Amino acid sequence: MTQYKVPVIPGDGIGPEIVAEGMKVIDAAGEKFGFDVDWIEYPHGADHYLETGELISEDTLKELSNYSAIYLGSIGDPRVAPGVLEKGILLAARFYFDQYVNLRPIKLLEGVWTPLKDKTPKDIDFTVVRENTEDFYIGIGGRSKKGTSKEMLEVSRSLYSAKFDLDIETDSEEIAYQIGMISKEGTRRVIEYAFDLAEKRDKHVASVDKANVLSDIYGFWREEFEDVAATHPDVETDFNYVDAITMWFVKNPDWFDVVVTPNMFGDIITDLGAMIQGGLGLAPGGNINPEGTSMFEPIHGSAPKYKGQNKVNPIATIWAGSMLIDQLGETEAGASIVSAIEQNIIENNVKTYDMGGSSKTSDVGDDIARIILEE
């Protein structure tokens, strides 16, 4: 029997209860398909931070880099200032492991209600490939009071006034700035990943940018996209401004197969994507380094107010678990989890509170596990 060791970070809020369902389902898939997972639990999250002052240490990250996939619940807690845990644990891991692809399937399962009128599972089935380590997420920014950073004041005053000779108030009391950076290598590798994926799907890649305004950064993105596209003549492509693509996701989701996007736009459009596939409770994600350590998680947050009530939707996490074992090479088992999720929704009319019903978190996991074993 194949043995896998998988670190699991249940995290905060509802994290532990949803990850428990995910492990239950993966264990069932293992029983069915002949592998066994040894779960290695890590305590990182708000409690650990409040007790020890540690977010996640470099030693721990180094230790985790011995594994090819990590299972993550959710991070975030009202006792800690917003961003501290998210940046100190989640983003730290994404950057440390160089998980340059954030893979987010947008797929409407049979039996799930979508707010898009007259759209069916045939219309909503695409994958967003979000760049995950660059852009406005690199963490370079700051604030300057008048006179304290002459350079930044120069920047702020030169932007439009220099180009168009506008009379803009130049002597602000204080400015704030954040730098977005994309590299040639960083851009190419994620775009290449998107094309490779499209080759296995419907051979269409849509690129997202805002090259009409943020032309330095996203003009560069477009050039790299065109270069990579030239090496895949059989794949159809198009460019989409980020504002426009939000409209097309709603109006014509069937146009999309693979969507490749810079980091920040990807963050935004995948919440929209989650809604059209039935809500955040149904949206999984994988932070992927194909040659290193990947990490799988629901894309929703830790929903602290629902903690411990056995009512939240574990499907996003269970689905992320299917992506995890797929990454480990257990493709058949991975696919069986997604079809069991779907079968459970159709046959048992499963609806957790977010889907308008009162199914219990633990029952959803039990039922999916049972379906896998019975099939």
Which residues in this chain contact ligand IPM in the complex, by CB under 6 A? 86, 90-91, 267, 299
Interacting residue ranges for Mn ion, rule: CB under 5 A: 267
Nearer to Mn ion, 77 or 267 (CB): 267
Q: Which is nearer to Mn ion, 267 or 330 (CB)?
A: 267
Fill in the DSSP letter of residue 359: -
- Residue 6 near residue 347 (C-beta atoms within 8 A): no
Listed in sequence order, the residues at least 6 apart from 312 whose beta carbon sits closer than 8 Å to its beta carbon are: 14, 17, 18, 281, 303, 306, 352, 353, 354, 361
Q: Identify which of residues 21 and 267 has a Cβ nearer to ligand IPM in the complex.
A: 267
Q: Which is nearer to Mn ion, 209 or 267 (CB)?
A: 267
Q: Which is nearer to ligand IPM, 80 or 91 (CB)?
A: 91
From the list Mn ion, ligand IPM, none, partner contacted by residue 91 (C-beta under 5 to 8 A by kind): ligand IPM
What are residue 11's DSSP bridge partners? 74
Output 30 or 266, the one with its CB closest to Mn ion: 266
Residue 36 CB coordination number (10 Å): 11
Distance between CA atoms of residues 336 and 26, nearest Å? 10
**Measured from the CB of residue 266, what is the shortest distance to Mn ion in angstroms?**
9
Beta-strand ranges (E) seen in 20-83 are: 35-41, 69-74
Count of beta carbons in the 10 Å neighbourhood of residue 176: 11
Smallest distance, ligand IPM to C-beta of residue 296, A: 12
* Closest chain position to ligand IPM (CB): 86
Q: Which does 280 bind (CB under 5 to 8 A by kind): Mn ion, ligand IPM, none?
A: none
Task: Output the smallest distance, CB 350 to ligand IPM, in A.
Answer: 25
CB nearer to ligand IPM: pick between 86 and 227: 86
Q: What six digits make up the tokens of 22? A: 């995910």
Helices assigned H by DSSP within 254-360: 263-276, 315-327, 331-348
Distance in angstroms (rounded) separating the CA atoms of residues 19 and 39: 11
- Between 17 and 267, CB nearer to Mn ion: 267
Measured from the CB atom, the residue of 90 and 303 that comes closer to ligand IPM is 90
Q: Which residues pair with 131 in a beta bridge?
A: 101
Indicate the Cα dihedral angle 351, 355, 358, 362, nearest 10°: 60
- Least Å distance between CB 337 and ligand IPM? 21
Residue 127 DSSP SS3: strand
Q: How far is the CB of 270 from ligand IPM (least distance, A)?
A: 6
Smallest distance, Å, CB 90 to ligand IPM?
Answer: 5
Q: How far is the CB of 142 from ligand IPM (least distance, A)?
A: 19
Contacts of 329 (CB under 8 A, 6+ apart): none
Smallest gap, in angstroms, from Cβ of residue 245 to Mn ion? 16
| Pairing of the two strands 69-74 and 294-298 | parallel
Name the token pair of 254. Answer: 């069937």
| Least Cβ distance, residue 2 to Mn ion (angstroms) | 33
Question: Which one of Mn ion, ligand IPM, none is in contact with 368 (Cβ closer than 5 to 8 A by kind)?
Answer: none
46-54 long-range contacts, CB within 8 A, separation 24+: 46/12, 46/76, 46/77, 46/79, 46/80, 46/85, 47/12, 49/80, 49/84, 49/85, 49/88, 50/79, 50/80
